[in-house]
Structure 1
Amino acid sequence: MTRPPFGPVSERDIRIVSIQLGRQARDVVGIPARCVCGAPTVVATAPRLSDGTPFPTFYYLTHPVATAAMSFLEAAQVMVECGELLAADPDVAAAYARAHVDYIADRESVAVVSELEGISAGGMPTRVKCLHALAAHALAAGPGANPIGDLALERSSWSPDVCRCPDYGVDVPDPADPADDETPDDETASRA
């Protein structure tokens, strides 16, 4: 299998994600989506956490403004609308089913965890359970990869193209300059 296209995780990334989450980031294996300022927006998390727990949510939304925007949409019953769309539009349902398969393939490119067989995230492939997970998948995999994630991002007050990051107190790398980020070592990635 081919690993999803994201680069290594730096110590700086882990510091920012920990600030975003309000707790120490754990088992981060990649940063598949970033804000235009370079701060992590989505992390890829190991399918089996270091404590042995299976973890199905491979793509995890961490950007605080993005997570608040998805929470707002959930409170506004957008998940109900999305569920109705899935039931009414066979093309959307088929694309959502493909997103489910692709999500599992991405996760399994890092590790296959038998307890997670057939499980993706966000309610895929037949229902809408978590816009945060679906938006994270859409951001990580790109437009068209997850129709419900795309819809949530379109309806959101947040955009990955406009930086609304708080001051993390950490030097954020320039996403256009790969040399501006630290080179992680194996120890850094494993203790995240």
Structure 2
Amino acid sequence: MTGSPDRPPVAQADLDAVERQLGRIPRGVVEVSHRCPCGEPDVLRTLPRLPDGTPFPTSFYATCPRLTGAISTLESEGVMREMSDRLEQDPDLAQRYAAAHDDYLARRTELGHVDEIDGISAGGMPSRVKCLHVLVAHSLSVGAGVNPLGDEALGMLPEWWASHPCTELVEDT
């Protein structure tokens, strides 16, 4: 089980579920930061430095294969490019997205400071959209109203949990 000194360890059952979702052992897990409506973990919160010493800027990590597949579909439809274009044209949106970047950094710094990634969040924040997976994971973990583009992408997703629990997808294939 992993965790951090000020947080309880992550339950082995959750780590096992995530291992089935990812097809590998999860690394640097601090907590399950969001659960899918099916009850399984779908977003993890991870350390900013993995146990092997690698800096890891992705503090909120989507794990559910149904969720990540749905997000990938949005990415393939050009949603990131459209959102990045809007950031250049809409100062209010750009300001709110920059605040989301600051929130992401503050939450990651709660888990430790890593010089190599200081000031670097994830997903393209604060100036572009590079990865919807990160933005959606951030929104799911911290709630609506913090990451406007994460919230928007989340609103575009189908009910990824509707068919089966997330861990069954790996077992089905």
TM-score calculated relative to the size of structure 2:
0.88
* Structure with bigger RCO (C-alpha 8 Å, 6+ apart): 1
- Please name the residue that 1:184 is paired with: none
State the number of aligned residues.
164
Q: Which residue identity lines up with residue 91 of structure 2 in the other structure?
A: P
Contact 2:136 2:153 in 1 (8 A): yes
Contact 1:35 1:163 in 2 (8 A): no
- Please name the residue that 1:116 is paired with: 117
Q: Give the deviation of 1:166 after TM superposition.
A: 3.9
- Please name the residue that 2:53 is paired with: 52
| 7 and 151 in structure 1: CA distance in 2 versus 1, 3 angstrom threshold | farther
Q: What is the alpha-carbon distance in structure 1 between the residues aligned to residue 121 and residue 153 of structure 2?
A: 18
- Please name the residue that 1:131 is paired with: 132
* 1:165 lines up with 2:165 in the alignment: yes
| 36 and 118 in structure 1: CA distance in 2 versus 1, 3 angstrom threshold | same
Contact 1:16 1:168 in 2 (8 A): no
Q: Which residue identity lines up with residue 165 of structure 1 in the other structure?
A: P
- Please name the residue that 1:188 is paired with: none
Unmatched 5+ residue regions in structure 2? none
| 142 and 8 in structure 1: CA distance in 2 versus 1, 3 angstrom threshold | farther
TM-score calculated relative to the size of structure 1:
0.80
How do 1:80-99 residues align onto structure 2 when only pairs under 5 Å count? 80-99=81-100
Q: Secondary structure at the match of 1:79?
A: helix
Contact 2:43 2:63 in 1 (8 A): yes
Q: Give the deviation of 1:159 after TM superposition.
A: 5.5
Q: Which residue identity lines up with residue 154 of structure 1 in the other structure?
A: G
Q: What is the alpha-carbon distance in structure 1 between the residues aligned to residue 36 and residue 88 of structure 2?
A: 33
Contact 1:17 1:25 in 2 (8 A): yes
Q: Which residue identity lines up with residue 18 of structure 1 in the other structure?
A: E
Q: Secondary structure at the match of 2:43?
A: strand
Q: Give the deviation of 1:110 after TM superposition.
A: 0.8
Q: What is the alpha-carbon distance in structure 2 between the residues aligned to residue 163 and residue 108 of structure 1?
A: 37
| 81 and 37 in structure 1: CA distance in 2 versus 1, 3 angstrom threshold | same
Q: Percentage identity across aligned positions?
A: 49
